[in-house]
A and B are shown apart, each in its own frame.
Chain A
């Protein structure tokens, strides 16, 4: 009984947050749009084709991302080697880059105009989700059972399939669900690399709402997008409940080992070199472009004249927003994941789905929803507060998905033992759940910060006061012709990469310093 009440109490803040910032604005904008657009949407073969493309490219992108990420994740999670944390930080860098910039790099590499280009770009963007989410569990699985199986004659593959894989499955599914949502609502990548023949529902919503000012059709598409995402999430949450396996996670320090044989060194080196090579090539193109014609672009950033370009201020704002957004996302996300790990059944399943929905909702829907809904009780429209709140809204699914698989491994006896010994529920959480979940929470917080730094998805349509961040500054510079504005924009993209890599390294470092290497 008390347990149920505690769970209910924990869910108050997340429910209010999501209700006010997601459910209410989205319902208001859908109500404003009305239902009259449905006939047009269903009757239009082009829109139906876009819906189908959205679905299949998201599916293929997800499978491709998982398959390509797993070898790297396996190497990073089992072996300690020099530069390991650098590799983990490096794969996260693409995550924050504006699609205009990445699109330019891919076009320069000759990748364009096909569905394949879109999928390659999705893998490029989303690799980090799998590497980091799955890695936070894999590096803490006790290798002893798999080694025992090998001793008993099981093949390497069989030991993986029957012992390690079942334990990894929840976190692979969690990561895959995030990749799917991202690919499902992909916008900039599809526009730039799709050769203009491929369109996602997200692109259609943008075009209907913004170019044609046809709100009823945009509303019908937005509702279709929401329903589609919700259906996929229903299947996902069901599969997750059945699959949860409770097992003991061990500290990373006890599971990681140095490559012992020449073969293992070759494996580590080969996998890291191939994956990072592919991942870093587009980034190298950007560095090259920032240096086209010497260092003029960098010099321009240092003294841009009267152009309202203040890179330092932009970096400061970006980091401030990222910090606040990550803190909000971490608070709400951990509360939500704790509630989900403790409860089962219909209500918690829907709570889980609604938590994920902001990631699968069109940027236009959320941005316009804020405008029509957030004028009361106090008028938040056009205020700075909305920026980190919107970033957090999109980042919460990452914290939840990163932490839930770990929280679900915690055996109830541990908590019960604490309670029997007289610890309060909050003390049990602090001393049992928190240390175990800290690493996964840091992964979630890192993504939350990265989402905020990259300012993409649902956050790009928020009307806010004149505040420069690094991505908005890149857009400003790209919007006008000229050598130094172009190389200056590329130089800023390079700064964005470095800042992100440094931030992710710092988050990883702080986590292991503050909480021990659990």
Chain B
């Protein structure tokens, strides 16, 4: 019995090794990314790139954005991939300071509007998303929806809001940063005290906030911190075709997250890596972005799909903070937030 087991093991081991060696024989480039990007990759995602350049793309998921950046930093001397995609403003300065990226300026950067252009020559913006309040239209009409962050502290929305914990959730952190950008380093604490007094609920992550606490999904909170792209997603993944999104977006107080790609230092395939980044910024790839990952393309020449045009707006004045500022203060801000909200 034992020898059979060993034989089985050896067989599977050999099969697995055979798979990896075979892949390495063709020209392959490895893309380290976070799980949510990986979740949307299909056989078609990089098909055009492979046809045009002869280079196939292997995608290596590495957990959430923070986990991915940390893994790239830990393997700096012997990188596991050639290109990294998915680092956002909040983790950017740590990644750049650690020296994990090579400098690259794509010729396509001229097609990226100033509002989302890279702040650093090591990385290339690929997409952006806005973390915004969503409301359940079955409970709150468009006319009655909050107009500004200030409205949330009023009696009208008492006990109606659920947010995510910034310590464990990326949209939760974005919303905290939005309030810091809006009310300033000395004013955000009072704003949150008012939210607490007004009965804000805190969920550990977006899944719980959206699927357990939001009224749309059976909870008791008609206001949730989610994304500007959530209403189109509700339409696209509806059980029966619908014309009107069941949720709406509050366009004030949105926090903009830009996601970047960079070439990992130490790669022996710098040229192929540049080609991949150019492809990811090309109109062809950029037009796949909205309906696959529910974020917005960085290239302004890419057309938005009808579902996005109909069911959401790109906030005109999103809030942002400089990456170095976020990097320096994140831990302290989260600690202060925890003191105020979860004493």
Which of A's residues lie within 8 Å of B, judged by CB?
Answer: 29, 32, 100, 103-104, 107-108, 191-192, 194, 196-197, 207, 209-215, 293-294, 296, 306-308, 320, 324, 327-328, 330-331, 367-368, 371-372, 375, 379, 381-385, 388, 434, 460-461, 463-466, 472, 475-476, 478-487
Interface size class of B (residues with CB under 8 A): 35 or more
Q: Cβ of B42 and Cβ of A465 under 8 Å apart?
A: no
Q: In the complex the two chains form, what is the Cα distance from A32 to B98 in whole Å?
A: 14
Say whether A478 contacts B71, CB under 8 Å. no
CB <8 Å contact, B9 and A209: no
**CB closest residue in chain B, given A476:** B39
The closest CB in chain A to the CB of B246 belongs to: A483
A481 touches B230 (CB 8 A): yes
Cross-interface CB contact of B342 among A197, A324, A388, A479, cutoff 8 Å: A197
A23 to B196, CA, bound (A): 46
Per the bound structure, the CA–CA distance linking A463 and B91 in Å amounts to 19
Bound state CA distance, A320 and B16, in angstroms?
Answer: 12
- Measured CB to CB, the closest approach of chain A to B269, in angstroms, equals 15
| Docked CA distance A465–B19 (Å) | 11
- Contacts of A104 on B, CB cut-off 8 Å? 207-208, 211-212
Verify B294–A480 contact, CB threshold 8 A.
Answer: yes
Q: What sequence of 0s and 1s flags, for each residue 331-342 of chain B, a beta carbon within 8 Å of any chain A beta carbon?
A: 100100000001
Q: Are B205 and A461 in contact (CB under 8 A)?
A: no
Contact A210-B35, Cβ < 8 Å, known A191-B204, A382-B80, A481-B210: no
* Complex Cα gap A460–B6 (Å): 26
User: How far apart are A429's CB and chain B's nearest CB, in angstroms?
Assistant: 9
Q: A434 CA to B1 CA in the complex, in Å? A: 10
Contact digits for B24-41, partner A, Cβ 8 Å, 1 yes 0 no: 000000101001101111
In the bound assembly, the distance between CA atoms of A476 and B36 in angstroms comes to: 7
Residues of B within 8 A of A484 (CB): 237-239
- With most chain B CB atoms within 10 A of its CB, the pick from A32, A213, A464, A475 is A213
Given the known interface contacts A381-B80, A479-B36, the answer about A327 and B44 at a Cβ–Cβ threshold of 8 Å is no
- Contact status A385-B17, CB under 8 Å: yes
List of 9 A-B pairs having minimum Cβ-Cβ separation, nearest first: A482-B237, A476-B39, A296-B239, A308-B42, A210-B66, A191-B204, A483-B239, A382-B80, A107-B212
- 8 Å CB contact of A375 from B16, B78, B208: B78
Q: Is B322 an interface position by the 8 A CB rule?
A: no
Q: Does B60 contact A (CB under 8 A)?
A: yes
- Identify which of B2, B8, B59 gathers the most chain A CB atoms within 10 Å of its CB: B2
Does B74 interact with chain A (Cβ within 8 Å)? yes
**Is B66's CB under 8 angstroms from A478's CB?**
no
What residue in chain B is nearest A378 (Cβ atoms)?
B17
Q: What are 26 of the A-B contact pairs (CB < 8 Å)? A: A32-B74, A192-B208, A196-B165, A210-B63, A210-B66, A211-B330, A296-B239, A296-B240, A306-B292, A307-B42, A308-B40, A331-B9, A371-B74, A375-B75, A382-B60, A382-B80, A385-B13, A434-B1, A464-B61, A466-B58, A476-B35, A480-B237, A481-B230, A482-B238, A483-B234, A485-B237
Measured between alpha carbons, how far is A466 from B62 in the docked complex, in Å?
10
- Indicate whether A214 sits within 8 Å of B331 (C-beta atoms), given known contacts A307-B40, A482-B233, A483-B239: yes
Contact of B41 among A192, A293, A308, A479 (CB under 8 A): A308
- 6 more A-B contacts (CB under 8 A) besides A100-B207, A306-B292? A196-B202, A197-B342, A294-B239, A385-B13, A466-B61, A485-B237
Whether A465 and B80, one on each chain, are in contact in the complex, defined by CB atoms closer than 8 angstroms, is: no
Contacts of B81 in A (CB 8 A): 382
* Partner among A191, A294, A324 whose Cβ is within 8 Å of the Cβ of B12: A324
B binding-site residues for A, Cβ under 8 Å:
1-2, 5-6, 8-9, 12-13, 16-17, 19-20, 30, 32, 35-36, 38-42, 44, 58-64, 66-67, 69-71, 73-75, 78, 80-81, 91, 94, 165, 167-168, 173, 202, 204-208, 210-212, 217-218, 226, 230, 233-234, 236-240, 292, 294, 330-331, 334, 342
| A293 CA / B66 CA spacing, docked (Å) | 36
Distance in Å: Cβ of A55 to nearest Cβ of chain B: 21
Residue from the list A368, A379, A466 in contact with B74, Cβ < 8 A: A368
Q: Which residues of B contact A293 (CB under 8 A)?
A: 239
B-chain residues with CB within 8 Å of residue A466 when the two chains form the complex:
38, 41, 58-61
Smallest Cβ-Cβ distance to A209: which chain B residue? B70
Most buried by A among B39, B59, B167, B205: B39
- Most-contacted residue by chain A among B17, B64, B70, B78 (CB, 10 A): B70
Q: In the complex, which residues of chain A have a beta carbon less than 8 angstroms from the beta carbon of B69?
A: 213
User: Once bound together, how far apart are the Cα atoms of A271 and B2, in whole Å?
Assistant: 39
For the complex, what is the distance from the CA of A368 to the CA of B61, rounded to whole Å? 14
Contact A384 B20 (CB under 8 A): yes
- Rounded to whole Å, the gap between the CB of B83 and the closest CB of chain A is 14
User: Which chain A residue has the least Cβ–Cβ distance from B134?
Assistant: A481
CB distance from A436 to the nearest CB of B (A): 14
Alpha-carbon distance between A472 and B212 when the two chains are bound, in angstroms: 20
| Known contacts A381-B75, A382-B30, A191 near B20 by CB under 8 Å | no
B238 and A371: CB pair below 8 A? no
- Point out the residues of chain B lying under 8 angstroms from A482, CB to CB: 233-234, 236-238
How far apart sit A331 and B16, CA to CA, in the bound complex (Å)? 19
Q: How far is the CB of A211 from chain B (nearest CB, A)?
A: 5
Docked-complex contact A211 and B42, CB < 8 angstroms: no
Q: How far is the CA of A479 from the CA of B170 in the complex (A)?
A: 12
Chain A residue at minimum C-beta to C-beta distance from B218: A108
Assembled-state Cα–Cα distance A479/B75 (Å): 27
Could you tell me the distance in whole angstroms from the C-beta of B284 to the nearest C-beta in chain A?
A: 15
Task: Using known A-B contacts A384-B19, A466-B38, A482-B237, determine if residue A327 contacts B8 with beta carbons closer than 8 Å.
Answer: yes
